[in-house]
Amino acid sequence: MELWLPLFFAGAMGLAMLIYVMLDGYDLGIGMLLPLAEEKEKDIMIASIGPFWDANETWLVLGVGILLVAFPEAHGIILTGLYMPVTIMLFGLILRGVAFDFRVKAGVEHRHMWNRLFFVGSFIASFAQGWMLGDYITGITDTTTNHLFSLLIALTLPAFYIMLGCAWLLMKTEDELFEKALHWGQKAVIPMGIGLLFVSIATPVFSTAIAEKWFTLPNAIGLMPIPLITVIVYGALFCLFYQKDILRKGYAWLVYVGLALISLLSTFGLAYSLYPDIVIGQMDIWDAAASTDSLFVIFIGAVVALPMILGYTIYIYKIFHGKATQLSYGADQ
């Protein structure tokens, strides 16, 4: 148990963060796309994420919760080192949560302000998450190169979220908003690809530990499928955005699946780059783990909680599947 319990919780934490990126990523992306839409279109965009966005954030809470209870020493190092971006992210998430509710209750005359604040909160949260990821990959060190790499990730992650938002709108909307989502995706797919390329090049440059894992034989040969498949999937996504007829016939979900696959491959690559460390260059998952007895008790709770969270997430998406409809504001109608 001393061997596999830390591995289980590291895997569960990674899975929670992957699901968070894929689910909360699209509603953060829609928040950043909101200023580009007309007023009625903004209501439909908000309606498309309304039933899901609170549940999506559950996965972030779960991931951080696992870090706290299963790897308390690493939790202290990581959250201390990332104190400022974590605080900024929380401010962004709180701001977008307040704006989401108040844009409905405040009346037509104030809705424009809350729409802008929803955009600001979405961008701040996305930018901060990218900075945190970049800082984490480089070992949470306070250097100029670390900050430059974190800035690169902080700009790339929002672009990826915007792509997820476009993919979600293609699945959930029709007519003019569908056309706009297609246009936004066409504009965003190239910046996202450039960002991913720069991140792929910069990661081994800024981290010698990661470079050694990826560019020594025979590892380099065994890992080659990850970048190759990513390039192929990206090329397919780029082509899909110029196949309007195919997307209109109910195949818009292919865009989302492609982005999910890129995210999955990136997660595999990151996991390989970090393993066995949980704080790169400082602490591995066994050194950071709580006692075996504590982990076993937590494991029992996780075996119950994880299927329940996954189950209600699937249930919500099943209940509210289909195209989004116009919001109703009661007295405003």
DSSP output for 231-292: HHHHHHHHHHTT-HHHIIIIITHHHHHHHHHHHHHHHHHHHHHHTTEEETTTEEHHHHS--H
> For residue 328, what pLDDT band results from cuts at 50, 70 and 90?
low
Q: Are 185 and 49 in contact (CB under 8 A)?
A: no
Q: What is the pLDDT of residue 22?
A: 92
Which stretch, 62-66, 72-76, 161-165, 248-252, has highest mean pLDDT? 161-165
pLDDT digits (tens, 9 = 90+) for 1-14: 778 899 999 999 99
Cβ-based neighbours of 27, under 8 Å, separated by 6 or more: 49, 52, 53, 56, 122, 165, 168
- State how far the Cα of 121 lies from the Cα of 124, in Å rounded to an integer: 5
Q: Are 72 and 290 in contact (CB under 8 A)?
A: yes
Cβ-based neighbours of 101, under 8 Å, separated by 6 or more: none
> For residue 245, what pLDDT band results from cuts at 50, 70 and 90?
confident
pLDDT digits (tens, 9 = 90+) for 143-171: 888 888 889 889 889 999 999 999 999 99
- pTM score: 0.90
Q: What is the pLDDT of residue 120?
A: 95
Q: Where are the alpha helices (DSSP H) in the chain?
A: 4-33, 39-49, 53-70, 72-81, 83-105, 108-137, 144-172, 175-206, 208-214, 219-223, 225-240, 244-246, 253-274, 285-288, 292-319
Q: What is the pLDDT of residue 119?
A: 94
CATH 1.20.1260: does it fit domain 4-322? no
| Pairing assessment for the beta strands 283-284 and 277-279 based on DSSP bridges | antiparallel
pLDDT digits (tens, 9 = 90+) for 287-316: 888 889 889 998 998 888 888 888 988 888
Which whole-number Å values give the CA distances from 241 to 205, 228, 237, 244, in the listed order? Answer: 32, 21, 6, 7
What does DSSP assign to residue 82?
T
Q: What is the pLDDT of residue 53?
A: 82
Identify the CA nearest to 196 among candidates 275, 269, 125.
269
Q: How far is CA 92 from the centre of its chain?
A: 15
Q: Are 82 and 18 in contact (CB under 8 A)?
A: no
Task: Please give the average per-residue pLDDT across 229-240, as a whole number.
Answer: 92
Q: What is the pLDDT of residue 30?
A: 94
Can you read off the two tokens belonging to residue 318?
A: 């099943």
